Structure 1
């Protein structure tokens, strides 16, 4: 199949004579047959694929930046370079550097009872994997899982978000230039296609998106007993201690919140601050925000909320909080703009737990601040809710750090930083409970998309038959005496 034919096939799902369910099934079976014909791609082949992918991303860099800008109606090119392009290239480079070691069978111990023998774990490709990527980082959250899938030797079908059509078009052409349709295929479409995609009998399915949609994906996958990795979200708190210099704390978490206008799954969702320091914290955030985003530059070069639906959702949080007695502080001197979906960082104090801004994942530039008296109250509050995707400790006190590390659960933790553990290639990324299931990145990504096949190998010598029936022999008595007493 030529590249042009592949692109045509990908982009016409649901538009031509063939029903989209049949079209998806056709692509899946095509990939399945190709995998069965080459069920263990060589190291050299995998590296060639990854290098070709990197070259294609670099060649398409300007086109991707332009497409991302169009999909967001403006998105900072710097944020696209850092959040989508750099992170994708870094993942490829790291994987190429370490892949040979990851692929090597891992020796395991064999107890004396089973000697002579050797034991190994062989990392075998799963087969055809499904990847459902979101709209907030549509390049990185497509390429990142794909890199892991290719490294592990798989074929991949990718369902991209309908909210980023311009970026999807570039990714579709980019991937078609690198891979045949029976190795990597991109499908586009609305909810009905996403549902049909989730119902395919993949060998593994990775979904990145909301917890609500994640439940539907897992339910659909369960019909075929497809193993899933769910990268979800939730309310990731920042916890500041009473001794932390407030300017230091703000400098460590603010970019994790403002990047991509807060539309990041690991962005700080709210802050626990000692009650007596809330006003000081508000002032420090405002000061730092004004330095990072000066008023005189205007809003024309600020990343927007992705669409009107998401913008109105966020505006509804603010309106409800304000009408319920919260103090709402819009920063930067530039008002929100309904027409362009621009929203500045907005602080919310004097909250209560019933407000939507305190109950639902924000996923935007709104930052509630909650005052606390005792750190145990914070621990109890975090543990009473769903386990967050990230937890961000702002403290130089090792005892404070250790208390929070050991007494709370979260998918990942940053100490004196926020959100950027997600781009450290050698750290696993994933949630826990309602914030996700499973992990990927680095070696964890390779293993997520591999089957860990156990191998016990024996040679000519074989002594285990001495324990075979009939029971009651002297060897049984000796065995029980030494090993079961």
Structure 2
């Protein structure tokens, strides 16, 4: 038996001894989690940069440290209100009885974190799980071994293993972790692995939250300013070299906007990235396998008829440091790999549409994405998009920032995921919302108990209406 399996049993026993931690206990755990992140920023940044060959430290501060700490602060601020029972209405037939929802911790929670944002996507789920009063174990990603070893050490210094325990190991450990009888399991990763996790969890009927990926579109409405949209789309695509589950995967825009958009995109690339030289704050691809996959997608798209539009001078691919420049692939076929697979890199397909309705039809023809970005919409276009397309979340005139809004739920739909966390929804996800009915001194049920008689039939006619 692996040591972490024994820890799972220890956490179960510890939870049985303390099935409803007080607000004071929960706040203390959140404080320790926040102190871990805040107190070891430099070590975490160095470890992640080494794992990626180069990972921009400013991006780590913005996209991992800052959002992790903000999420903890938000949960601490709202915790006592979340823990309070929520009154619910009772039918007039049961008045003056009372009803409420009592939020009870689920128990022992499993978290499987990915390699692309391993700090934020470990701390975020842990924040919600601890706020809800659970014990937790987190399977750290093998794709970032230096970070995972460091974070496991830091968790061990701040938490008793019966509170929070890290788990290290490769895919075989991840598969075994998925198959444990968790009280809730949250997985962040690819859709393909998400299916395997769901299958592994099925024998125990483990409640699941799956945060997956997909092809998140950026749509420029006919009235959009292509220059303003280009700056924001390029920034989102270049962040972490495109290795972001909610990065804009492809762009749809009217033909008349194409040239000004491409010109503004090139200017934004020059300003924000500049070059692939080592002194620039632009991240590398995490490993050779992922780098070669993006090379393949690029070559296949060109062979299928897509036109390459370079955004920076010099080569697109820089093998020694696993760096890829942001590059446009213009009008690739819909059946090409770059339009069928989640890209997860700085390749940006750009396609033109004839009318706005056609753009929405293209989005609806594919799997439902994790995010959708809409620029410059009129009121009718925004309404048509919100009502007529499905996605995990939407940002209007911006990219990525919906995930940083702590009061908004985050999650996918269909192939891009199931369930939500962040905000109050995160607390609810890791809680059992137990319905409680409190009988008053006046018991109306006595009027319809057996033995049934004429009074019973009279009451039913009154209650039903006939």
SS at match of 1:130: strand
C-alpha distance after superposition, 1:37-65 (max 9, x if no partner): 00000001101111121112111111001
Matches within 5 A, 1:384-395: 384-395=365-376
4+ aligned runs moved over 4 Å, structure 1: 296-300
SS at match of 2:433: strand
Matched, 1:427 2:408: yes
Other-structure match for 1:409: 390
Q: 1:367 to 1:111 in 2, by over 3 A?
A: same
Give the CA deviation at 1:474.
2.4
Matches within 5 A, 1:21-170: 23-170=3-150
SS at match of 1:213: helix
Other-structure match for 1:314: 294
User: Relative to structure 2, which stretch is displaced further, 47-56 or 289-298?
Assistant: 289-298
Q: Distance in 1 between matches of 2:183 and 2:463?
A: 44
Give the CA deviation at 1:470.
2.5
Task: Give me the TM-score of the superposition, normalised by structure 2.
Answer: 0.97
Other-structure match for 1:370: 351
Match of 1:383 among 331, 356, 364: 364
C-alpha distance after superposition, 1:260-309 (max 9, x if no partner): 10000000000001123222211110111111122496565420000000
Task: Give me the TM-score of the superposition, normalised by structure 1.
Answer: 0.93
User: Relative to structure 2, which stretch is displaced further, 419-428 or 377-386?
Assistant: 377-386
Q: Is the 8 A contact 1:389 1:411 kept in 2?
A: yes
Match of 2:334 among 344, 353, 364: 353
Extract unaligned runs of 5+ from structure 2: none
Q: Is the 8 A contact 1:132 1:158 kept in 2?
A: yes
Give the CA deviation at 1:347.
0.6
Q: Is the 8 A contact 2:23 2:80 kept in 1?
A: yes
Q: Is the 8 A contact 2:276 2:325 kept in 1?
A: no
Q: Distance in 2 between matches of 1:40 and 1:253?
A: 45
Other-structure match for 2:170: 190
SS at match of 1:88: helix
Q: Distance in 1 between matches of 2:418 and 2:279?
A: 38
Q: Is the 8 A contact 1:299 1:342 kept in 2?
A: no
Matched, 1:219 2:191: no
Q: Is the 8 A contact 1:390 1:413 kept in 2?
A: yes
Aligned length: 465
When the two chains are superposed, the root-mean-square deviation of aligned CA atoms in Å is: 1.4
C-alpha distance after superposition, 1:426-456 (max 9, x if no partner): 0000000000000000111000000000100
SS at match of 2:136: strand
SS at match of 2:443: coil
Matched, 1:272 2:259: no
Q: Distance in 2 between matches of 1:236 and 1:402?
A: 18
